């Protein structure tokens, strides 16, 4: 166990609580940070598209996962 005990806010462990936490965190970002995050997500998307085009990554489907 860590030296300092972490206090768990159990309200953040529900779907609704987690959504509110994410919203609070995103609203705390500066415009610059938001644009950096958007750029990183776009880079990740382009990378994943390239992998799919090269056949190194497949699309997932519900049908595939239930087999």
In a domain, 7, yes or no: no
In a domain, 48, yes or no: yes
Residue 30 is assigned to a structural domain of this protein = yes
DSSP 20-40: HHHHHHHHTS-HHHHHHHHHH
Looking at the domain assignment, is residue 28 inside a domain?
yes
* pLDDT at residue number 9: 86
* CB distance 58 to 52 below 8 Å: yes
Q: Residue 63: pLDDT above 70? A: no
Q: Name the domain count of the chain.
A: 1
In terms of residue numbers, what domain contains 41?
12-65
What pLDDT was estimated at residue 33?
97
Q: Is 60 exceeded by the pLDDT of residue 1?
A: no
On whether residue 6 sits in a domain, the answer given is: no
The residue behind tokens 């997500």 is: 41
pLDDT at site 61:
65
Tens-place pLDDT, residues 3-61: 577 888 888 889 999 999 999 999 999 999 999 999 999 999 999 999 999 988 877 76
Question: In angstroms, rounded to a whole number, what is the distance separating the alpha carbons of residues 17 and 12?
Answer: 4
C-beta of residue 57 within 8 angstroms of C-beta of residue 48:
yes
């Amino acid at each position: 166990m860590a030296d300092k005990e972490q206090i768990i806010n159990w309200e953040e462990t529900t779907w609704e609580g987690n959504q509110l936490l994410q919203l609070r965190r995103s609203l705390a970002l500066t415009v610059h940070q938001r644009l950096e995050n958007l750029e990183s997500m776009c880079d990740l998307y382009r990378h994943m598209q390239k992998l799919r085009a090269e056949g190194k990554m497949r699309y997932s489907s519900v049908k595939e996962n239930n087999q």
